[in-house]
Every structure is written in structure tokens, then in C-alpha cells.
Amino acid sequence: MRRAIAAAMAGVALIAGATVWFATRSPESEPAPFRTPSARPSASPAPVASPSPDAATRLARAVAAAFPKGTRFPREFNVMEFDDHRLIDAPFGPVLVSHGHVEDAGHSDAGTIRVDYLTERDGSFALARSFPKVIELGSMGDLGDWSVSDRFTSLPVIVAEGGGTWQGYSCSMTALAELRPDGPAEVASIRSAYSNGGAVEGVATSAEGKIVDIVRGKGFTMRFTGSMTFDDRYVWRDGRFVLDGKSRLPEC
């Protein structure tokens, strides 16, 4: 009798345990089947734009294109060195303007302005055309001040000044050269300074000019000061700036 009761109780316990296991087990507790990740097409990396070169880098590359063998040029008795360069973004393309001076120069040696027309692509330059002697002024192998201006015409204009002293007379000239699509062209040749201080005793005559009152495409004034004070007016005529009238500046 006791064995029958014990067996019955064990059966009840087994049924109760099974009921609890099934009741507490949920479908979410089943392990998820392993899934191989689906292959996704990799996105192509967005193109990265190369940074634009700065002004110094562009100038260095332009000089290398215009002077592939260096900036020193042998002459008959001495050497010309181009050591001052400016890169101009003209309306028709990049232009390199370079100033050259003669080493160990003689009195009659002039300084030089050279111009190189370039092409530019992807930050690199190539030489298109070269104009070695656009302006030659000065003495002792060098010219004076020079610059590039947009105030004279609709195109960039090189302004260069140079002079010297001969037998006590000192004189200077100013030259203007316009950078045109087909090449640079001289548009003015101006007597811009005079002094006889080294040639005469007593009171010397002197006058030094400065360009003022520029009206683009029409003209400008060369204003002289010194022992002589006067204005010379230059007007645009037939593709050049020409003196309107006659200058009071003495000839050298």
C-alpha cells in the first residue's frame, strides 16, 4: 500500500515538473539560427579634391617651367641672373614676369625684364612662349624699380624705371609694356628724371618725375618736382601713351 502511494506521488511530481518546464519555456528562448551576413556592395569613396597650391608654390612651379635649366645665363664677359619673379594671372592665362641683372657688370650693361607666357593645368605649368628682352633699362647691370599694374589699360602693364650717370649728367627713363594675348608690347617710353649736378658748378638743374592722375585707357600725368616743377601729360593714341605737347625736361 505504501509503495503504491509513493509511486502515485512520484508521478504527480513528474507531471507537475513537466507542466512548469513547458509553461516557463517561451519560443524566444530558442537559440536563433546562425545567419551569414549578406554581402553589401561597398560604397566607392568620394573623390577628394586636391588643395589648390598657395601663391608661393604656384610661383615656384611657374619659375621652374620658364627656367628649366636655371635662372643664370652666361654672357660674353659676365652672367645674367633672374632673381625677382612675379606671376600674373592675365585674362588670357598666367604670365611670369622676371627681372634680370648682370653680375660684375660694366657701366653700359642694362637690367632686363623678361616675360614668359605659360599654360596651367592641374596645378602644373608649361611654357608656351618666351620673350627674353621686353624691357632693357638702366646701367651697371641693373634697372631701378619695376611693378605690374592694372591701372593703365584693361590689360596688365609692366612699369619699369632705370637710369644712370654719364659725364656728370644723370638721366632716367620709364617704360610701360602691356601684356597682350599675342605678346607684350611697349606702350610708352618716358623721360622721367634729369640732373646736371655732376657736370656744372654752382646751382644744378634737376627734376624727378612721378606718374599721377592715371585714367585707365585714356592717359596719365608725369609730375616733375625739383629745381624745375611742371607736368607732362600723356594720352592714349593709336595703341600707345604719347606725350601731349613738348616736355620742359632737358635732354641728356
| DSSP symbols for 182-197 | TEEEEEEEEEEEEE-T
Q: Can you give the pTM of this predicted structure?
A: 0.79
- Sign for the pseudo-dihedral over CA of 83, 84, 87, 93: negative
The pLDDT assigned to 44 comes to 52
The pLDDT assigned to 76 comes to 78
Task: Evaluate whether 135 touches 97 at the Cβ level (below 8 Å).
Answer: no
The pLDDT assigned to 252 comes to 86
25-56 pLDDT, tens digit each: 443 434 333 333 344 444 555 555 556 789 99
Instruction: Locate the domains of the chain by residue range.
Output: 53-143, 144-252
